[in-house]
Amino acid sequence: MKETLAHQLADYACALRFEDLSKQVVHEVKRRVIDSLGCALGAWNEEPCAIARKVASDFSAKQGSTIIGTGHKAPPDWAAFANGCCIRYFDYNDTYLSKEPAHPSDNIAAALAVAESVGASGRELITAIALAYEVQCRFCDAASIRARGWDHVTYGAFSTALACAKLMKLDPKRTRHAVNIAGVASAAMRQARVGELSHWKGVAFANAARHGVFSALLARAGMTGPGPIFEGQMGFEKQLGVSLGNVGEKFTVPFAETSDGPASMILRTSIKFWPAEYHSQSAIEAALSLRKEIGDPARVRAVTIESHDASVDIIGSELEKWKPETRETADHSLPYITAIALIDGKVTEEQFQPERFTDPKIRKFLENVKVERNEELSGLYPGAAANIVHVDLADGRRLTRRVDYPTGHAKNPLKDSQVEEKFNVLVHPMLGSDRARKIIEIVWKLDAAKDVDELMKAMEMRREKYRDSSTSLGMTKARST
């Protein structure tokens, strides 16, 4: 009988070695770790991050993992959850666009937690992260699950389980059972990302990562999971109504020859330049360019945004997007994000504070913002994430800007210096310039590190930045702007 997809994934994960990775892939993993830790430290004081940290800090483990910003070691699945909430919450971590869009750096919290708990080396961590990117992105290429009412984080349970099994050095059989356990309870509802959005929008993958870590822990101890998890009579494909097609062919061992080498999907992912949902990035860039020409936003009479189907469906069609009541809705609103870029001439965390997105003047401006589907732009997706912004002025003129590949896109990547700059903007208010630089230096040398202890210790906050976990929800804000 042909081996199941779980068999193929397990064989691939167990066979992958650091030496198989290209220098470009290794370097890109380091860039994503820098970017993700910057996002985590920048969002550290946000309410859902503080909630997650408070809950996780109630538990300790002798072979635990550090909750970022503290010296506390929690069970690795709880640490993955608390740290994953921070990485994701600002909607500022990286993106992969395909049939199913995703944020593959969400996997990093789980990989870091398990790497610390088992004493894995920097090279082993890098390999596990590259593996997680590969798995999640390949699944996203195979089928859209949001179209069927399921959330993209569902795929993350598999990618994190495999990355953790790799770090635990499980054999193929136990790795397969980690996949089976992860899959049987992984399906997450898309309701997390429709209508008026809640805290859960930013922490849903952290929960999937927690489940992935837990699944690997159970498999390590000998727990077996139901299979075949994908192809079975009541398996993943049947229940979610998807066909994963030839995805297994992407995980053949020995590795298929590709120009970028094994586990290189990370090279096709994009880093965000602005703290907002990815499909809005090109609209922000277009709006900021127009703002320079417009000058006074009071001259604007109306705005029309032409966008592709994925963008309209996810961030530009629901009524709530024109009247956001939460930060989560605001950073997932194409009309609001574009409008605020035109009005303020910048898009930072400041633009996602309640006093901005509930301002009556902004609400009035949004009444004259339209979002339209553009067939040509839809045809370019996911290779391009294009938006066209038209601004009609009071004097009768129409100004137009189109951006296909926003800054940070895989086809328009950030320089290393820009990745560091983004990190510094987020982290300086929390740790200061010297400690921020230290973290960057540690990550650039990650492939030479015997473990991740130095990195985790480098991120511990000074006491004045936080109170102990019992009062963490009363923390003083330390904003990044």
**Same domain, yes or no, for 234 and 361?**
no
- Predicted local confidence at residue 429, as pLDDT: 93
- Predicted local confidence at residue 397, as pLDDT: 96
What value does the mean pLDDT take over residues 325-339?
A: 95
Q: What is the pTM of this model?
A: 0.93
In a 13 Å sphere around the CA of 272, the CA atoms on its Cβ side amount to: 30
**Same domain, yes or no, for 227 and 361?**
no
**Same domain, yes or no, for 350 and 213?**
no
Domain end marker among 403, 419, 446:
403
Strands of 284-441, DSSP E: 300-307, 369-373, 387-393, 398-403
**Same domain, yes or no, for 333 and 302?**
yes
**Same domain, yes or no, for 252 and 287?**
no
In a 13 Å sphere around the CA of 51, the CA atoms on its Cβ side amount to: 10
**Same domain, yes or no, for 204 and 303?**
no
Asked whether residue 273 is assigned to any structural domain, the reply reads no
Domain end marker among 367, 386, 403:
403
Give the strands of the sheet with 398-403, arranged side by side: 369-373, 300-307, 387-393, 398-403
Strands of 353-481, DSSP E: 369-373, 387-393, 398-403
**Same domain, yes or no, for 48 and 164?**
yes
**Same domain, yes or no, for 196 and 293?**
no
Q: Is the pLDDT of residue 257 over 70?
A: no
Asked whether residue 459 is assigned to any structural domain, the reply reads no
Q: Note whether 258 and 265 are within 8 A (CB).
A: no
Asked whether residue 42 is assigned to any structural domain, the reply reads yes
Measured from the Cβ of residue 56, the count of other Cβ atoms closer than 10 Å reads: 26
- Predicted local confidence at residue 465, as pLDDT: 59
Domain end marker among 268, 289, 308:
268
DSSP, collapsed to helix, strand or coil, labels residue 303 as strand
**Same domain, yes or no, for 204 and 324?**
no
Asked whether residue 196 is assigned to any structural domain, the reply reads yes
Asked whether residue 232 is assigned to any structural domain, the reply reads yes
Confidence of residue 236 (pLDDT cuts 50, 70, 90): very high
Query: Which two tokens mark 284?
Result: 């922000």
Measured N-to-C along each axis, helices 334-344 and 281-294 cross at an angle, to the nearest 10 degrees, of 30
What value does the mean pLDDT take over residues 332-349?
A: 96
Q: Is the pLDDT of residue 477 over 50?
A: no
Q: Is the pLDDT of residue 475 over 80?
A: no
Asked whether residue 14 is assigned to any structural domain, the reply reads yes
Q: Is the pLDDT of residue 46 over 60?
A: yes
Q: How many domains does the chain have?
A: 2
* Domain span at 260: 5-268
**Same domain, yes or no, for 177 and 149?**
yes
CATH number of the domain that residue 219 is part of: 1.10.4100.10
Confidence of residue 162 (pLDDT cuts 50, 70, 90): very high
**Same domain, yes or no, for 314 and 177?**
no
- Predicted local confidence at residue 478, as pLDDT: 32
What value does the mean pLDDT take over residues 246-257?
A: 75
Confidence of residue 468 (pLDDT cuts 50, 70, 90): very low
Per DSSP, the chain holds a count of helices (H) and strands (E) of 20, 6
Measured N-to-C along each axis, helices 154-167 and 108-118 cross at an angle, to the nearest 10 degrees, of 20
pLDDT in tens, 376-429: 999 999 999 999 999 999 999 999 999 999 999 999 999 999 999 999 999 999
**Same domain, yes or no, for 210 and 312?**
no
CATH number of the domain that residue 378 is part of: 3.30.1330.120
In a 13 Å sphere around the CA of 112, the CA atoms on its Cβ side amount to: 35
- Predicted local confidence at residue 472, as pLDDT: 35
